[in-house]
Amino acid sequence: MLVFGVGVCSGGSLRKNFYKKTCPKAEETVRNFIWGQLSNGNNSALPAKLLRLHFHDCFVRGCDASILLNSTSNSTAEKDAVPNLTLAGFDILDRLKALLESKCQGQVSCADILALAARDAVSFQYKRPLWEVLTGRRDGNVSLASEVGPNLPSPSSNVTLLRQNFANKGLALKDLVVLSGAHTIGVGHCGIITNRLYNFTGKGDSDPSLNSTYVAFLKTKCPNPPNFTITVGMDPNSSLSFDNHYFEILKEHKGFFISDATLLTNANSRFFVDQMQNSRNFFTEFAASMKRMGDIGVLAGKAGEIRKICSKTNS
């Protein structure tokens, strides 16, 4: 058996409908459960939560559901690392896992459940899958808070650093730009951008790369000194709609984080930002990039295990 997963990508070990024989209704079950959660409009934040969880999972140790493990007495898990603000959705995934265990015990990995659930939650708005999710991921045994910092991109990084970060995961500059479009949904904590608004260079100024109209708007939401409980929509007028609007406001200099704004500072990344002004391009490219992201460092074959409970390893 080849043990993939220690390297950067799975080398194509994932398959279409991996559970066809072992759990034929697995994908349908995930979709129905997630769409059920969204159907009465009471959980509109869920798509962003699950999409971000999937991203954090894949960038730290590969897409192996390490983000879902709880800390143990001798090990602090990824979910308890410092940049875990607003991480959520764990309870829903635990319930979905229990449902799948009741139908097909010991078959469907938490890593696949997360990848499918993120796709289905984001797709609910359109009632059709926005990207293909190949399956066959297995679950890892290890989750370390100390691995989050070195692997997860920082909101204060410039494009050079972000590009390197993505390259370390086998992803290209285009993937960086396209996947940053995920910030078309969801919220960010005001506290992270306090400096951009109030004291960018230590002279009581705001970040000159931020649109002044937007600065004025954000100041009404984000006080100084910061209140770390306050969040704002990163795409303020359409933070519940998954679309290419992120790229439209980015060009108006309304990128929420430095890591968003910086995509305009490099001719190559700006080229992709321009391409993403076209909605069809965005959906096509986002689908392709998500497939690549979902392939990072996956455990396949006999590596890892199929967890019984997503928040703890079997042994």
Ligand X SMILES: *[C@@H]1O[C@H](CO)[C@@H](O)[C@H](O)[C@H]1NC(C)=O
Binding at 52: pick from ligand HEM, ligand X, none (beta carbon under 5-8 Å per type): ligand HEM
Closest separation in Å from C-beta 135 to ligand HEM: 18
207 annotated ligand-binding residue? no
| SS3 assignment, position 215 | helix
Answer yes or no: 54 catalytic.
Answer: no
62 annotated ligand-binding residue? yes
Residues 240-269 that bind ligand HEM (CB under 6 A): 257, 259
Distance CA 220, CA 83 (A): 25
Taking the least distance from each CB to ligand X, the nearer of 118 and 290 is 118
Query: What is the biggest distance separating any 2 CA atoms in the chain, rounded to whole angstroms?
Result: 64
- Angle at CA 10, nearest 5°, toward 6 and 16? 145
213 annotated ligand-binding residue? no
Determine the interface stretch with ligand HEM among 95-103, 187-195, 221-229, 264-272 (rule: CB under 6 A).
187-195
Taking the least distance from each CB to ligand X, the nearer of 92 and 290 is 92
Closest separation in Å from C-beta 164 to ligand X: 9
Provide the token pair at 283: 């959906």
What is the contact surface with ligand X in residues (CB under 6 A)?
Answer: 36-37, 40, 42-43, 70, 74-75, 79-80, 84, 87-88, 140-141, 158, 160-161, 199, 202, 204, 211, 213-214, 217, 227, 229-230, 236-237, 249, 252-254, 299, 303-305, 309, 311-312, 315
Catalytic residue among 56, 189, 245, 253: 56
Return contacts of 71-75, CB within 8 angstroms, 24+ apart: 71/145, 72/312, 75/143, 75/144
Q: Kindly tell me which residue out of 32, 70, 76, 86 binds ligand HEM, with binding defined by CB under 6 A.
A: 86
Closest separation in Å from C-beta 204 to ligand X: 5
Say if residues 135 and 291 touch (Cβ distance below 8 Å).
no
Taking the least distance from each CB to ligand HEM, the nearer of 192 and 298 is 192
| SS3 assignment, position 85 | coil
129 annotated ligand-binding residue? no
Distance CA 37, CA 157 (A): 35
| Residue nearest ligand X (C-beta atom) | 202
Q: Residue 21: how many CB atoms within 10 A of its CB?
A: 8
Closest separation in Å from C-beta 287 to ligand X: 26
Provide the token pair at 268: 């190559």
183 annotated ligand-binding residue? yes
- Angle at CA 252, nearest 5°, toward 248 and 256? 85
**What's the gap between Cα 181 and its chain centre?**
11
Nearest to 110 by CA among 79, 81, 80, 82: 79
Q: Residue 103: how many CB atoms within 10 A of its CB?
A: 13
Say if residues 179 and 263 touch (Cβ distance below 8 Å).
no
235 annotated ligand-binding residue? yes
Q: Which residues bind ligand HEM (CB under 6 A)?
A: 45, 48-49, 51-52, 55, 85-86, 153-155, 162, 176, 179-180, 182-183, 185-189, 192, 257, 259
Catalytically annotated residues:
56
Which residues contribute to the annotated binding site for substrate?
153
